[in-house]
Structure 1
Amino acid sequence: MSQVKRLRRPPAGGYARGDETRERIIAAAVTLFGERGFAGASTRDIATAAGVNAPALQYYFENKEGLYQACAEHIANDLKARFEPAMRQARDALKNEASTDALIEAFLGIKAVMLESVLMQPFASSRRLFVARELADEEPQLASKLLHRRLKQPLNKISADLLARITGVGPNDSITRIRLLTLKGQVMPFYHPPGACLDVLGWKEIDAAKGELIKTTVLEQTRALLQAWRV
């Protein structure tokens, strides 16, 4: 992938129609880049899927590389924004020496956003495919690096700090890190549907009601573990 050019952007307070068109192009591009990869997703097909003409892509993103960069930025920024309220609650609980019950609620708040992002958000499956291609070294690692730096690193740190305060075991202790990984692992069976989880559950898809059932069940399990580990 060649060096990304500086993207054209609408003026401050730009037209809502332009913003909507740009977002529509990004949504179509995330889907096609995820399904076909960078090389396999043509700008013509992306424009068709977005319902715009091909020159619109050049106007908003300069080139295909610029569009891919914009997709990576969009994924990272959107997920960071979704997690920020729960992370703020967690930071406040840690800073204010909150009770163990409040710390548990803060941990569950982060876990709830994680489950919602996997199960219930529009375009979640497309985003997973986009990032999964990068993690498999099939594409330049733009979105995965942005997510790691902007979200995963701070999220892991604050989750480990919460777990340490709840359990009385230091945040850098191997036991805390193992516990954190196993708690995160509760989400992984549902990360790539359709797949084995649908076969085990006997479901054809995970709709809103089934997603809510998964979320409630996983949060109940997490609460039970945190209560068992608390000091």
Structure 2
Amino acid sequence: MHPTSPDTDSARGDQTRRRLLDTAVDIFADSAYDSVRTRTLADAAGVNQAAIPYYFGGKEGLYLAVAQRIAERLGGKIKALVELAEPLLDDAATASDEALELALRRLIANFARAIIGQPEPRASVAIILREQQQPTKAFDLLYGQAMEPLHRAVTALVARLDKVDDDSAEAILHAHALLGQVLGFIAGQTTLLRRLGQQRLESEQIEYVARLLENGGITAARREPQRARPCE
């Protein structure tokens, strides 16, 4: 065995790497980056502490690898959701407001279905929320591959409905408010579960929330006449 190699067998090494990533997602979701020790990560994964610098170059490398995996997995789901709305965005000149609003509601609802109550996505969103407050190098990975594509798609739909430019402050703020309703279920899930007297959300409860968002339980997408414009 090479003296600096924790694992010489390729399959065993891949398994060690996956175990570290699986464990690190939950630990970094529960604790701030600076408070996490490499010994804690290694012990929780059941691997030699030397595996972290060997496979990832250190704690920061492991954290960035976690962020990259989140970006790829969540980004894949978001890409599929966005693709459903793209035909309407491409044909926005002839699409009715009713069709655009329905597409917007379904996009928000399907985003809720994708992340609320799911164990790994919930941990992933916890890391994303922390990166919003205390951004690190991981933020650019998460933003570029997951957060920005969804935000731009929602903004584009809102802009068509509000009759404003895609890059206007009004459209961006409106989109952020709509997405915040979903993210609020993640950020405030401990309070929600305490109120419900449950350890986790049931599938039918998640579907109930998604249907509320889809069927009108969100701020109306269309702009009300003479309402205040945030960019003026």
Range into which the TM-score falls when normalised by the shorter chain: 0.7 to 0.9
Pair 1:104 & 2:101 matched: yes
* Amino acid across the alignment from 1:73: Q
* Amino acid across the alignment from 2:61: G
Shift of 1:149: 2.6
* Amino acid across the alignment from 1:55: A
* Amino acid across the alignment from 1:99: A
The answer to whether the 8 Å contact 1:76/1:143 transfers is no
Pair 1:126 & 2:127 matched: no
The alignment partner of 1:84 has SS state of helix
Shift of 1:200: 5.3
**Deviation sequence 1:106-149 (CA, Å, 0-9, x none):** 32343134213431332233223333433333xx6123232223
Pair 1:36 & 2:31 matched: yes
- In structure 1, the residue matched to 2:166 is 171
Out of 72, 78, 82, which is 1:83 matched to? 78
Question: Could you say if the C-alpha distance between residues 223 and 37 of structure 1 is closer, same or farther in structure 2, counting changes exceeding 3 Å?
Answer: closer
Out of 150, 154, 165, which is 2:149 matched to? 154
Find the aligned partners of 1:75 and 1:105 in 2 and give their Cα distance.
28
Moved more, 151-160 or 67-76: 151-160
Question: Which TM-score applies when normalising by structure 2?
Answer: 0.74
The answer to whether the 8 Å contact 1:31/1:130 transfers is no
Q: Indicate the RMSD between aligned Cα atoms, in angstroms.
A: 3.3
Pair 1:53 & 2:45 matched: no
Question: Could you say if the C-alpha distance between residues 53 and 208 of structure 1 is closer, same or farther in structure 2, counting changes exceeding 3 Å?
Answer: farther
Find the aligned partners of 2:183 and 2:131 in 1 and give their Cα distance.
18
Percent of aligned pairs with the same residue?
Answer: 28
Shift of 1:29: 0.9
* Amino acid across the alignment from 1:211: I
Pair 1:115 & 2:112 matched: yes
The alignment partner of 2:166 has SS state of coil
Find the aligned partners of 1:24 and 1:204 in 2 and give their Cα distance.
25
Gaps of 5+ in 1: 1-7, 9-13
Find the aligned partners of 2:194 and 2:42 in 1 and give their Cα distance.
36
- In structure 2, the residue matched to 1:24 is 19
The answer to whether the 8 Å contact 2:71/2:141 transfers is yes
* Amino acid across the alignment from 2:192: C
**Deviation sequence 1:32-61 (CA, Å, 0-9, x none):** 223233333222322232233333333421
Shift of 1:186: 2.2
Aligned residues: 215
* Amino acid across the alignment from 1:83: I
Question: Could you say if the C-alpha distance between residues 197 and 221 of structure 1 is closer, same or farther in structure 2, counting changes exceeding 3 Å?
Answer: farther
Shift of 1:167: 4.1
Pair 1:213 & 2:211 matched: no
Question: Which TM-score applies when normalising by structure 1?
Answer: 0.74
The alignment partner of 2:118 has SS state of coil
The answer to whether the 8 Å contact 1:47/1:57 transfers is yes
* Amino acid across the alignment from 2:59: K
Question: Could you say if the C-alpha distance between residues 143 and 110 of structure 1 is closer, same or farther in structure 2, counting changes exceeding 3 Å?
Answer: farther
